[in-house]
Structures are given as C-alpha cells and as structure tokens.
C-alpha cells in the first residue's frame, strides 16, 4: 500500500490542505477562505470557529481530489499563522475573536510600559523577539488583561493557532511548538522553555500557556468525529508542526548554512538558517527555532509585502481585471506584461510599501505607504513597477540586517505568490545581489508541515531525510551586475526617504494623528 502525508496550512486569509506522496508530489489539494475583521484602525481579528470550520472543508476537498484511500495517509502535520492570540476556555472554545498578527493595538503599551520594565537588549537576549515590535503576542496579552479583564480571567489557555488547531483535530492537550513559542513574548529561545523571569516581570501565569513541544511530535490520532468532519481516516497520526514561516523554511530545504528563504505573500519574510545561537546586533531580527533541526533561524518581516501589489491591483487595475474576466488570464499577468516594458528604477519612482506599518528593522506602526518622485511623465505601468520594486527593497532591509548579524547567504530560495512572476524573481536577484532559486512544490508551508508529519509517524528518521526525499529546486535567476548597481543606488534613496519621513514629529507621525 502506498504512503502519503498531509500538511494543513492555516494562513491569514485562508486554509489549505495538501496531500503529498513521499517524493513531494502534490496529489490532492483543498482551499477555503475566511475573513479578517477590522473593528478599529490598526486592529485585525478573526473568528476561531470560522477558521476551524473552513479548515475542515478544505480537508474534505483535498480528500475528494485525492485518488487514493484515506487510510494511506499516515499523518497530518500543521503549519499555522504565527503570533495570533486566541483566548479559549478549558474546552478550547474561543472566548472572543482571535487577535491577528497584523494587529497593532498594543503598540502604545510597548512604549508606555514595557521599556520601563526591562531593557530592550536584555529582553531580546532572552526571547529573541525585538521588544519594540507589536507583532508578538505580549503587548496584545497585556492589552487583553487591561481592557477585557473578564475574558482574561476566564481564559484557560492563551492559544496560538498551532495548539488551537491541534486540539480541535484531536490532540489530548494544547501543545505549542518551540518555533511558535517565542511569539508569546515570554520565552527563552536558547533554552527552549518559558522564561520565569519574563513571566514574573509581566505578571503572567505560566499555567495559562500551552505545553512546549518539539515539531514532529505525535500528540494524538484522528477520532471518528473528526474523521466525519474532515474525511481523514480514524487513527491517522496528528503531529505537531510549526509556524507557517518555519514550515516554509523546512519545505524550502533551508536546513543548512548558506541558505535562506524569502517569502512574498500576505506578509514578507526573509529567513536565514543558523547552526549556532544567534542575535542581531541591532536587536531588530526575530530569532526562532529551525523546525525539526534543533537549530535556529533569524528572520525579518515585511508587514504588507505582496499585499501591496494586491492593493495596486484592486485600486488601479480595473481595466486589467475586466480583461481577466473576459479572457480567463490572471490579472497579475496583464500587470506584469506592462511592467516588463518599464526600465528598472521605474523612471525615478520610489514606493515605500508601509500600507500596514513598517516591519523589520524599523518597527514603526505610524509609517504609511508612500510614492515618491511623481511627475506628469509617469505612467500607470511605472507606478506598478515601483510597487513591485519597493516591496523588494523593503526585503533588502532585512537582507542587510542579516549580514550585520554575521549570516553569509549564498542563495535564496523564494516562495509565495510572487514567484509566479519571472520578472519579480529577476528583480529579487538583482536587488539582493544573489541567485534566486525556485522550488518544484510551491506549497512549501504545507510541504514542511507534511515532512514534520512524516517524522511524527515514523516515515522519516528526521527532517533531513524528509527534505532529501521531498524537496527539489528547479529554476535559478542570477543577478545582473548592471541592475545590481542600479538597485543599490535606489536602496540608498529608499533608506534616506524613510528616515526623512519618520523623524520625530515628522510626516508619518503627523499623518497618523489625522486618522
């Protein structure tokens, strides 16, 4: 009987279930979307019940497409969006909408309180997360404690999506993996356990946090009830996975020195492997576990990334969308065809992609998207190219930060929707000045989760064996020296523009007060 592995990727905007054979070939897929809610400026919420309902439906769709028997699927591993706070009761029922990773409601708490409790340097040394970032859960936890004390007191477990979904699928407890755990903000990333010092400083009870577990650990089996809800066979192993970007790194095979992955999706991530304990000397990069290896990875985040290009499509590309409806051709393909006729540098246009604030290394929730250099000569395709280039320049911010941390990268393996554009792939190679590799499987987050499932089910001895069998690179884009030089100059302008707009009592701050 053939053997297969399932990886479930619970993302920001939708849930995807993928079934792979042991060579990494995708043999079944299902997808369901779910909404985000924006009750106030800077707030982002989701309904945990809707997330699980849509995930079950995605599983059914994948199994309907799968040509084999559900009994041949030996394990289910999980890739989940990180840094989502979900207060639940003792039965794992949500007590309120989950607070999303893009949510900035705790930003003021960081400035007003956190930096008076502990120095940024000491905090970063323990947790591996920059204290100034509102992305990790800690500021949201304190916000919950101060603004919804009834929910805080009723909470049995402060979940992230990993442990919430594991338990909904049948795990016997709430288990969070060591890669997701730093996002709680009270973790010791080098020791792999909650930090008693941070818990005490922020007056948070350890018993309300999920159990720390290694990725690739079996924690249950599919029950009859969940089998009926999802289509998976009873007895299928339920295995601890990791955060979506940790799984994406594994699915890209970034488990050795000299490799990094770049994801341009709803958010943008640049993540480099490190075999040694590591910190960014500037304290801006996040440090988490490298899933399944017991090592580390250092990463930076762009909060909008390819979402900025989607914004361009939604706001400016009405004609292209109409053409897409008539022909069936992807709207993005029409936009890319226009951009291909524009020279690098977009005729002197510069786009700062801070549509939801600035991520690594700037962490400025007041920063906003900006288009600099416009005059009457500029065209819509030039604006489109500047958006694509601006997103990539923000990723270069992260690349430069990793260099400062002593990480030497020889090749970047890229994932996310942007990889569909050869033009964007080449722009990335030129902006980073290093080769860009594509992967045979585009669903790398689900693939990484499936590999961890294979470890938990005993199919693989470890993730190295899983990667060797299931991860394959395909096309490579090499940097073009002339354009590398051009983008280095454009990057200098990018940095200077941000610095000018972000000065104290500057443009970003004044605009934020008008909202």
Contact 339, 346 (CB under 8 A): no
Sheet architecture: strand order including 268-274: 286-290, 295-302, 268-274, 259-264, 411-415, 436-439, 473-477
Supply the pTM of this predicted model: 0.86
Give me the phi and psi of 443, to 5 degrees please. Answer: -85, 65
Strand-strand pairing, 157-159 and 86-88: antiparallel
pLDDT score of 112? 87
3-state helix, strand, coil in the chain (%, to 5): 40, 20, 35
Contact 17, 450 (CB under 8 A): no
Q: How many CB atoms lie within 10 A of CB 206?
A: 12
pLDDT score of 267? 81
Paired tokens of 153: 């007191």
pLDDT score of 1? 66
What are the structural domains of the chain? 4-303+439-475 (3.30.420.40), 306-406+483-506 (3.30.420.40)
Contact 261, 438 (CB under 8 A): no
Q: Which of 435, 399, 397 is nearest to 272 (CA)?
A: 399
Which CA distances in Å does 178 have to 142, 210, 311, 459, 508? Answer: 22, 11, 34, 22, 36
Strand-strand pairing, 86-88 and 14-21: unpaired
Which CA distances in Å does 14 have to 65, 84, 214, 266, 438? Answer: 18, 14, 25, 11, 23
pLDDT (tens digit, 0 to 9) for every residue of the chain, 515 residues total? 689 999 999 998 899 999 999 999 999 999 999 999 999 988 999 999 999 999 999 999 999 999 999 999 999 999 999 999 999 999 999 999 999 998 989 988 998 899 899 999 999 999 999 888 888 999 999 999 999 999 999 999 999 999 999 999 999 999 999 999 999 999 999 999 999 999 999 999 999 999 999 999 999 999 999 999 999 999 999 999 999 989 999 999 999 999 999 989 878 889 999 999 999 998 889 999 999 999 999 999 898 999 999 999 999 999 999 999 999 999 999 999 999 999 999 999 999 999 988 988 888 888 999 999 999 999 999 999 999 999 999 999 999 999 988 998 999 999 888 888 999 999 999 999 999 999 999 899 999 999 999 999 999 999 999 999 999 999 999 999 999 999 999 999 999 999 999 988 889 988 888 87
Contact 136, 187 (CB under 8 A): no
Give me the phi and psi of 268, to 5 degrees please. Answer: -115, 135
Looking at the DSSP bridge assignments, the partners of residue 411 are 259
Burial class (CB in 10 A: 0-12, 13-18, 19+), 344: middle
């Amino acid at each position: 009987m053939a053997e297969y592995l399932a990886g479930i990727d619970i993302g920001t905007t939708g849930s995807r279930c993928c079934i792979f054979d042991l060579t990494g070939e995708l043999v079944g897929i299902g997808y369901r979307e779910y909404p985000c809610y924006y009750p106030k400026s800077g707030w982002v919420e989701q309904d945990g019940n809707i997330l699980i309902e849509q995930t079950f439906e995605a599983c059914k769709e994948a199994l309907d497409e799968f040509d084999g028997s559900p009994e041949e699927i030996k394990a289910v591993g999980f890739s989940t969006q990180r840094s989502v706070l979900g207060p639940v009761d003792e039965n794992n029922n949500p007590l309120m909408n989950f607070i999303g990773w893009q949510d900035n409601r705790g930003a003021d708490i960081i400035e007003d309180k956190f930096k008076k409790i502990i120095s940024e340097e000491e905090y970063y040394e323990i947790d591996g997360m920059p204290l100034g970032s509102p992305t990790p859960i800690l500021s949201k936890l304190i916000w919950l404690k101060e603004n919804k004390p009834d929910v805080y007191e009723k909470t049995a477990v402060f979940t992230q999506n990993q442990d919430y979904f594991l338990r909904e699928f049948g795990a016997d407890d709430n288990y969070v993996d060591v890669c997701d755990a730093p996002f709680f903000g009270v973790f010791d990333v080098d020791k792999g356990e909650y930090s008693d010092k941070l818990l005490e400083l922020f007056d948070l009870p350890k018993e309300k946090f999920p159990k720390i577990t290694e990725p690739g650990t079996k924690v249950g089996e599919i029950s009859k009830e969940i089998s009926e809800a999802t289509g998976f066979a009873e007895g299928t192993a339920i295995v601890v996975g990791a955060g979506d970007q940790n799984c994406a790194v594994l699915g890209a095979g970034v488990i050795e020195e000299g490799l990094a992955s770049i994801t341009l999706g709803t958010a943008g991530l640049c993540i480099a492997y490190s075999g040694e304990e590591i910190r960014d000397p500037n304290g801006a990069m996040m440090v988490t576990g490298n899933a399944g290896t017991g090592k580390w990875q250092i990463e930076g985040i762009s909060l909008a990334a390819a979402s900025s290009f989607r914004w361009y499509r939604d706001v400016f590309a009405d004609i292209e969308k109409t053409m897409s409806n008539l022909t069936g051709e992807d709207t993005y393909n029409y936009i890319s065809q226009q951009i291909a006729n524009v020279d690098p540098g977009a005729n002197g246009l510069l786009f700062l992609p801070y549509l939801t604030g600035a991520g690594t290394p700037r962490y400025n929730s007041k920063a906003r998207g900006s288009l600099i250099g416009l005059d009457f000569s500029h065209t819509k395709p030039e604006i489109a190219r500047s958006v694509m280039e601006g997103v990539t320049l923000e990723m270069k911010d992260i690349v430069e930060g990793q260099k400062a941390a002593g990480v030497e990268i020889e090749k970047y393996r890229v994932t996310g929707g942007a990889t569909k554009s050869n033009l964007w792939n080449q722009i990335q190679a030129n902006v980073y000045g290093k080769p860009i590799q594509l992967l045979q499987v585009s669903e790398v987050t689900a693939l990484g989760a499936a590999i961890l499932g294979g470890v938990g089910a005993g199919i693989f001895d470890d993730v190295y064996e899983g990667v060797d069998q299931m991860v394959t690179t395909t096309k490579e884009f090499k940097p073009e020296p002339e354009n590398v030089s051009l983008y280095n100059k454009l990057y200098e302008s990018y940095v200077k523009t941000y610095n000018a707009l972000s000065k104290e009592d500057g443009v970003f701050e004044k605009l934020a007060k008008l909202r």
